Structure 1
Amino acid sequence: MKSGAVLAGVLGACADSGKVNDSGPRTLGDIPSPYGQRSTYEKSVRYTNLSVTPEAGASRTPLQDSYGILTPSSLHFERHHSGIPTIDPSQHHLLIHGMVDRPLVFSMEEIFRLPSVSRIHFIECSGNSGREWTTPEPTVQRTHGMLGCSEWTGVSLSLLLSEVGVQSEAKWIIAEGADGCKLHRSIPMEKAMDNIIIAYAQNGEAIRPEQGYPVRLVVPGWEGNTHVKWLRRIKAVDQPYMGREETSKYTDLMPDGKARQFTFVMEAKSVITFPSGRDKLPGPGFYEITGLAWSGRGLIKSVEISIDGGQSWQEAQFQEPRHPVALTRFRLPWRWEGQEVTLRSRCIDETGYVQPSREALIEARGLNTRYHYNGITAWRVSSDGSVQNAYA
C-alpha cells in the first residue's frame, strides 16, 4: 500500500472538527526534577505472576505497549530464583580463578576503568512462551513477555580472561551470581572468548537491581538463564558442572524419553504485537500491523505476515537499522473490512532458519517440555473487532 493511499485512508476516517478554538496554555507547569518520571497518563506495567515463594518469580514485559526495539529498563522482564539482593558496589568484587595462570579479583572501580563496549542485544528466558506448548495464554505480554532488548555497556569477558591467562585444558567457565541461591551456569570457553559482555549499564544508566546491579553477564543470543546476574565469580574448568539449572531445569525432555541439554541458542521467533490478544479494533478501516522478530543466531533477514490464516504471506517492512541478535521491528499496512481473520507472522534469520508452525514444533519435540518454544503465534480477529489467541 503506497503512503498516499495510507494517509488518505486514515485521514478520510477523521471527522471534521469544524471551527477550532484554542486559546493555548495559561498556567505554569512543573519544575525540573532530579530524576525523570513518565506521565501520569501512562499506565503500562510489567505483568507479575507470583508463586507461593515469590522470591522465585518473574514479571513480563508489556510488549503490546512497546515502540521501536528498545525495552525501557523499568519495563524489562524479570526472572529471579531467590529474590533481588541489595549490593553495595563499593564492596562488590568479581573473582576470576580456576584453571588460569594468574587468578585476579576486580573491584567495580577497576572494572569501570577498563576499555568498554556497548551493543544492543535481546535477552529472552528459555521459558518464554512456555505455556504455548499446552495451555496458550491470552495476551502477547503473557505469551512472549519474558523478553527485552537493551543497549548493554560493559567490558568484554574475553579481555579479562586474556588478562588472567586461561590454561589450554580449560574448556568451560562457571559463572556464579551473588543472589541467595548463588545461581550458576556452565558456559563453553569458546563462547566466553567470543562476544560475552560483563555489563554494568543498561540503556545509558547503571543496571537496575532486578537486572543484576552492579554487574551481570550478557551472553548474546543464548537463553536468559546463562546471563548470570549479580556476577561475583567466574571459574575456568575442564568440563561443565552439571548444576541444577542445566540438569533438572532448563533441559528439554523429548518424546523418546531423552533430554536435550545445553540448548543454549534462542532460535528465530516473531510475534505480532498489534493487533494482539484482548485488543479491540473500533471498526473496519486502516490499521498498521506491527510486531517484533529476533534470532539468537544473528540478523533477521525477512518477516512475512499472513492475514488469511497462513494460506498466503506478504513481506513486512523493517524498521532500520537492524542489529544482529537484537529485536527487529516489522510493520505492514492493513485495511480491515470487518470480517473474521487470523493474523500470523513468521521470520527467517540470516542462517536461513525459518520459524516453524506450532504444529511442526510439537510434532518434532512433543509436549514434555516447557522451554524453547518458538512456534508461529496466531491472533484471531472476530467480526466485532475483538482479538484472541487462536490456539487458546
Structure 2
Amino acid sequence: MTGDDARTKAGHGRRGFLKAATLGSAAAVLRPSTLLGQPRSGRSLGEGVGGYGDRSPFETTLRRVRGSRYAQAAGSLTPLQNLNGSITPSALHFERHHSGIPEIDPSEHRLLIDGLVDRPLVFSLAELQRMPAVTRTYFVECSGNGRVKWSPAEPDTDAQAAFGMTSCSEWTGVPVSALLREVGASAGASWVVAEGADACRMTRSVPLDKAMDDTLVAYGQNGEALRPAQGYPLRLLIPGWEGNICVKWLRRLRVVDQSYLTREETAKYTDLMPNGEARQYTFVMDAKSVITRPSGGQQLDEPGFYQISGLAWSGRGRVQRVEVTTDGGRSWAEAQLQDPVLPLAHTRFRFDWSWDGSETTLASRCIDETGDVQPSRAALIAARGTQSSYHNNAVQGWRIGRDGRVENVDV
C-alpha cells in the first residue's frame, strides 16, 4: 500500500468513525437516563479544596519498578502507553539511582565551583535562584533505554518495559555558562567534572564546550521544585545526552584539563563493539520513536478507525518527521507531528488508521533535523553487534493479531 493509499484509507476510516459518533449522539436522545453520564448521587456535595492537588482515585497509572539486587540501585519506568501529550508528569518521571535518594535540606546544600578557575565560588540554592534563570523543555533518557531490543523480541513486552526510561519535562535553572563566567575558567580548561551528593558520589566528566552551550543547573521541574528522585535541590541537565551524565543532587563542578575517566565512563556506559573495542563518550541519544497506542499488552476491540499515537525524540535536535507503517514495513507514510516541535524534547505524533481486522504489524521511525534515521534492529546489530547494553534506538514493532491483541515484535 502506498503512503497516499494509506492516508486515503485512514481518511475513510475516520469519516466512518465520525458518522458512527453522530448516530450515537442521536441515540443518546432516545436513552437519556442511561447516557447522561451523571449518576443519581452526583447531586450530593463533593470534597472541598486542598493544599496540594491529587489525581482522581479512578486513575491508577504508576511507574513500574525495575528489579534490582539492591533497592537503592533500582530504577522505575515511565508508563508511556498511558500518557497524553509530550510532557511527563513529575510523579511519573522515570528513576535511576546508584545509591538511593538522599534527603537534603536545601538551606544547607551548597554548590562548589572550583579547579582551573580564577575565583572558586560556593553558591547556596537561594543565591542560584537570584541569578537570571531560563526555562526549557528537554527529554531525559537513560542510555540503557531500549536495552531489551538487543535480544529477540518477547511478545509480552510493552512500551513501558521497552522504553520507559525516558521522560520529558519543563526544567528551570541557571545556565552553567553563566556560572562559569562568574568563576572565570582558566586557559587550558577543557572539561568540567560534575559530582553528586548521593552516597556513591556519582561523578561524570563533561566537555567544557557542552557545559558552555545549553547545560543547566536545574532547580525546577514542571513549575515546581525538583522531586527528590530527580535530584532535589539541584541537578545538572545536559540536553540530548545520556541521562547518567545529568548528575543529580549536584554538589560540585570542578573545571579541569582532561576527562577524569570515572567509573561511569569506563567500566560503565561504554559500548562494546564486535571487534572487541569499546565506544567511549557516546553521549548523544540518537533519533528514536515508539508507538504508544496501540502498543504491547493493549487490545483493539473491533475493526474500524483508530488513531495511532506515539512519541519521537532525538539528542541531535528537532524531530523532522515520523513515518509509520501499518503493514510490517512494506510501506511507510508520514505522521502528523503535534505542535510544538521543540529541539531535544519529546514530540507527540499521530496517524489516522482504519484496521480491517487482519493480522498486521505497526511501527514508527524518526528522522531528525540532521538527517539521522532510526534504524531497523537488523541494521543496528549489523553495525554494532549484540554485546552492547546501551544506545539501542532500533525501530519498535507491534503485531496486531486477528483477535485485536497487541504484542511486541521485531521489525
Offset, 1:244? 0.5
- More divergent stretch after superposition (254-263 vs 128-137): 128-137
Distance in 1, Cα, partners of 2:355 & 2:114: 60
Residue of structure 1 equivalent to 2:4: none
Which secondary structure does the structure 2 equivalent of 1:89 belong to?
coil
The Cα of 1:136 is off from its aligned counterpart by 3.7
Between 1:100-109 and 1:133-142, the stretch displaced more is 133-142
Q: Would the aligned equivalents of 1:303 and 1:345 in 2 still touch at CA under 8 Å?
A: yes
Give, in whole Å, the separation in 1 of the partners of 2:153 and 2:90: 27
Alignment of structure 1 residues 332-371 onto 2, 5 Å: 332-371=351-390
Match of 2:32 in 1: 20
Residue in 1 aligned with 2:120? 103
What CA distance in whole angstroms lies between the structure 2 residues aligned with 1:236 and 1:262? 18
Report whether the alignment pairs 1:329 with 2:337. Answer: no
Counterpart of 1:209 in structure 2 is 228
Contact 2:13-2:304 within 8 A present in 1 as well:
no
* Residues 116-131 of structure 1 mapped to structure 2, 5 A cutoff: 116-131=133-148
C-alpha displacement at 1:8, in angstroms? 3.7
The answer on 1:175 being equivalent to 2:194 is: yes
CA distance in 2, matches of 1:338, 1:6: 16
Say yes or no: does 1:390 pair with 2:409: yes
What code does the residue aligned with 1:72 have? P
Matches within 5 A, 1:1-392: 6-12=14-20, 16-17=27-28, 18-21=30-33, 22=36, 25-136=42-153, 138-391=157-410
Distance (Å, rounded) in 2 between the aligned partners of 1:253 and 1:119: 34
SS in 1 for 2:73: coil
TM-score, normalised relative to structure 2:
0.93
Work out the percentage of aligned pairs sharing the same amino acid: 56
Q: Report deviation, 1:11.
A: 4.5
The code of the aligned residue for 2:54 comes to Q
Shift of 1:347: 1.1
1:166-220 C-alpha deviation (Å, 9 max, x unpaired): 0111100000000000001000000010000100000000000000000101100
Deviates more, 1:25-34 or 1:79-88: 25-34
User: How far apart are 1:9 and its partner, in Å?
Assistant: 1.7
Give the TM-score normalised by structure 1. Answer: 0.97
Confirm or deny: 8 A CA contact 2:16 2:305 kept in the other structure: no
Q: Which residue type is aligned with residue 369 of structure 2?
A: E
CA distance in 2, matches of 1:19, 1:58: 49
1:255 Cα offset (Å) = 0.2
SS in structure 1 of the partner of residue 361 of structure 2: strand
Q: Which whole-Å CA distance do the structure 2 matches of 1:186 and 1:126 have between them?
A: 16
- Structure 1 or 2: more helix by fraction: 2
Question: How many angstroms apart in 2 are the aligned matches of 1:232 and 1:385?
Answer: 51
Unaligned runs of 5+ in 2: 1-7
The code of the aligned residue for 1:6 comes to: R
Q: Which moved more, 1:137-146 or 1:17-26?
A: 17-26
The letter for the 1-side match of 2:94 is F
Could you list the per-position Cα deviations for residues 286-306 of structure 1 after superposition, in whole angstroms to 9, with x for gaps in the alignment? 100000000001000010000
Whole-angstrom distance in 1 between the partners of 2:45 and 2:19: 34
1:10 positional shift: 4.3
Please give the alpha-carbon distance, in whole angstroms, between the structure 2 residues aligned to 1:296 and 1:44.
Answer: 27
Question: Separation in 2 of the partners of 1:50 and 1:214?
Answer: 27
| Equivalent position SS for 1:174 | strand
State how far apart, in whole Å, the 2-side matches of 1:80 and 1:123 are: 14
* Paired residues, number: 392
SS in 2 for 1:389: strand
Conserved? CA contact 1:61–1:147, under 8 Å? yes
CA RMSD of aligned residues (A): 1.5
User: Does the Cα contact within 8 Å between 2:325 and 2:362 map onto a contact in 1?
Assistant: yes
Q: Which moved more, 1:354-363 or 1:46-55?
A: 46-55
After superposition, the Cα gap between the structure-2 partners of 1:342 and 1:114, relative to the gap in structure 1 and judged at 3 Å, is same
| Cα distance in structure 2, aligned partners of 1:346 and 1:4 | 24
C-alpha deviation, 1:132, in angstroms: 1.0
For 2:91, what is the secondary structure of its paired residue?
A: helix
- The question of whether the paired residues in 2 share the 8 Å contact of 1:276 and 1:388 is answered with yes
Deviations 1:147-184 (A, max 9, x none): 00000000000000010000111100000000000001
Once residues 288 and 276 of structure 2 are traced to their aligned partners in structure 1, the CA distance between those partners, rounded to angstroms, is 26
In structure 2, do the counterparts of structure 1 residues 67 and 365 end up closer, same or farther at CA, with 3 Å as the change threshold?
A: same
Distance, in Å, in 1 between the alignment partners of 2:200 and 2:143 is: 19
**Structure 1 runs, 4 residues or longer, greater than 2 Å off:** 1-5, 13-19, 21-25
Q: Is the 8 A contact 1:196 1:220 kept in 2?
A: yes
Distance 1:135 1:359 in 2: 10
Q: Contact between 2:78 and 2:165, CA under 8 Å: does it hold in 1?
A: yes
CA distance in 1, matches of 2:13, 2:159: 30
